[in-house]
Chain A
Amino acid sequence: MTGGPTWFPVALSIDVPSHSPTGTYLHGEPIVLWRDPAGAVHAWADRCPHRGMQLSLGFLREGRLACPYHGWRYDAEGRCTHIPAHPEVVPPRAMSVERLGARESQAIVWAATGDASISAPAAVEQWRPIRSVTARRSASAVQDALASSMPGLDIEGDALPFPGSGLMVHSVAAGKFGLALQPLGPDLTAVHAVHCGDASVRDLIAFSRRLADLRDACESMRFSSRA
């Protein structure tokens, strides 16, 4: 164990809007994703320190994430800044949300626990989101299914945005398709698909359908090769 952060995909960037928080899971733990006014994405434990309400059900006010239960507001550092029932109270620092590291790269939002202070390298390629699908299988089972379905699927060194992350790349004539696996839980995995290159809309739709078919096959344990 190196002690460094391990980055996991948690959403397509396009699925984290600027006007509202959204929730997801990582290894069974609920997390909330939201953007501050500068557009920077944040990943936190999806639990208000006050009464445990899901912050992903909350809303954004004045650039801060507000809990839907009692309206406590949290700034980008995760610190409570406002308690509506006690507006004169300066919330103690202990009233803070547990934060994860959060970065965006390759049209995907990545989150990490531990020391997540590693800065993202400059993006050298323009990736576009395609879609996300969720399979009722473990991440390793989904990875096996993908490898079986797409010979040549590999992790490109220069495609790794951060240590520990894994964007699997399937190269085709019209560019590259990227697939990132999010372990939502022990037997639930999200597959986030992105593309880099000159594929037509028709190609993207075809790949999207292929991914859905692969999900269906994976869930029925039919790992047929589609080479």
Chain B
Amino acid sequence: MASPPDPRPSAHASATLTFDGELARPSFTAFAAARASRLDLALVFGPIRTGSITVSVRGQRDLVDAFEAACTLGPSDCLVREVTRR
């Protein structure tokens, strides 16, 4: 079996994500911060309103996608109904 190629950093990407739904604020923000740390993403919280939390992230493109997927599932006490990515 051939060795996997040495990984080269995937293209970097930035995204601003707005999650709408039934969001428990401390739980969701802690979840997002933990996932961003795990994925080595720069994270900045944007407007946080009842039922709507916006975050901006920057890092390897695939890991930004992974962050979006993880936060779409979210912590167990939150229900994300819509995600808007810019």
Contact surface of B with A, Cβ cutoff 8 Å: 1, 3-5, 7-10, 37-40, 60, 62-63
A87 touching B40, Cβ below 8 Å? no
State whether A87 touches B60 (Cβ < 8 A): no
Q: Are B38 and A95 in contact (CB under 8 A)?
A: yes
Known: A87-B7, A94-B38, A95-B38. 9 other contacts (CB 8 A): A62-B3, A88-B10, A89-B7, A89-B9, A89-B10, A89-B63, A90-B10, A92-B38, A92-B39
CA distance A90 to B10 in the complex (A): 7
Question: Given contacts A61-B1, A88-B62, A90-B60, is CB(A82)–CB(B40) below 8 Å?
Answer: no
A-B contact count (CB 8 A): 40
A-chain residues with CB within 8 Å of residue B38 when the two chains form the complex: 92, 94-95
Does A226 interact with chain B (Cβ within 8 Å)? Answer: no
Complex Cα spacing A194 to B82, Å: 62
Residue of A nearest to B40 (CB): A92
Interface of A is mostly: loop
A86 adjacent to B10 (CB under 8 Å): yes
Residues of chain A contacted by B9 (CB below 8 angstroms) = 88-90
User: Which residues of chain A have C-beta atoms less than 8 A from B40's C-beta?
Assistant: 92-94
A62/B4 in contact, CB under 8 A: yes
Within 8 A of B (CB), among A40-98: 61-62, 73, 81-82, 84, 86-95
Segment 90-110 of A: residues with Cβ below 8 Å from B: 90-95
**Count the A residues whose beta carbon is within 8 Å of the partner chain — how many?**
16
Contacts of A94 in B (CB 8 A): 37-40
Contact assessment for B4 and A89 in the assembled complex, using a CB-CB cutoff below 8 Å = no
**Residue of A at shortest CB range from B60?**
A89
Q: How far is the CA of A177 from the CA of B38 in the complex (A)?
A: 47
Q: Which residues of B contact A95 (CB under 8 A)?
A: 38
Question: Do A88 and B8 have beta carbons less than 8 Å apart?
Answer: yes
User: Closest Cβ of chain B: how far from A10's Cβ, in Å?
Assistant: 28
| 6 closest A-B pairs by CB | A92-B40, A88-B10, A86-B62, A94-B38, A82-B4, A90-B7
What chain A residues lie within 8 Å of B1 (beta carbons)? 61
Q: Which residues on the B side are within 8 Å of A86 (C-beta)?
A: 10, 62
CA gap between A88 and B60 in the complex, in Å: 9
Chain B residues within 8 Å of A84, by CB: 4
B62 and A89 form a contact (CB under 8 A) = yes
Complex CA–CA separation, A6 to B81 (angstroms) = 49
What is the CB-to-nearest-CB distance from B11 to chain A, in angstroms, rounded to a whole number? 8
Taking the nearest CB of chain B, how far is it from the CB of A94, in angstroms? 5
In the bound assembly, the distance between CA atoms of A197 and B8 in angstroms comes to 54
23 contacts between A and B (CB under 8 A): A62-B3, A62-B4, A73-B4, A81-B7, A82-B4, A86-B10, A86-B62, A87-B4, A88-B8, A88-B9, A88-B10, A88-B62, A90-B7, A90-B8, A90-B9, A90-B10, A90-B60, A92-B40, A94-B37, A94-B38, A94-B39, A94-B40, A95-B38
Tell me, in angstroms, the Cα distance from A91 to B40 when the chains sit together. 9
